[in-house]
Amino acid sequence: MKIIDIAVETSQRYELVSITDEVKRAARDAGVDEGICVILSTHTTAAVTVNEDYDRDVPRDLASACRAFLEALDVRFEHAEGNSDSHFLTSLFGQSQTLLVSGGELDLGRWQGVFLAEFDGPRSRTVRVALS
């Protein structure tokens, strides 16, 4: 198994940052012809998701929808640090994604991309990519 860390800088409280190119590069560099790629956020307030990476409005719309969703919930979080909303959204989105590697390339659909979903930014983040 090969493990590669990807550094990601975020600039907003809620933001989806495409890491597609970095994950594709990691898959190629790992030398895995056929296998599995696991992409993991090493943080409790940032998730990993797969969604459309062609239209740049999609990640912005998702971040906007997260804000609206939380406002509609009208939940009083008890966590003293004030970022329980971030923990909540990360739990909904999930810490990781598992994708296939086929022919030495990450196997994504035509419009799909991999995103770090930031819910407590701006921050410096690490995404871990494991390939086997």
Identify the sign of the CA torsion 55, 48, 113, 73: negative
Give the pLDDT score at 82: 80
Give the pLDDT score at 73: 86
CA dihedral of residues 91, 41, 67, 69 (deg, nearest 10): -30
Six token digits for residue 62: 């998702």
Give the pLDDT score at 115: 98
- What's the whole-model pTM score? 0.93
Give the pLDDT score at 53: 95
Domain boundaries, the chain: 2-131
pLDDT along the chain (132 residues), means of 10: 97 97 96 97 98 94 94 82 90 98 96 98 98 97
Six token digits for residue 132: 């086997």
Give the pLDDT score at 76: 82
The CB density around residue 64, as the number of other CB atoms within 10 Å, is 12
Give the pLDDT score at 47: 99
Considering the domain delimited by 2-131, tell me its CATH architecture: Sandwich (2.60)
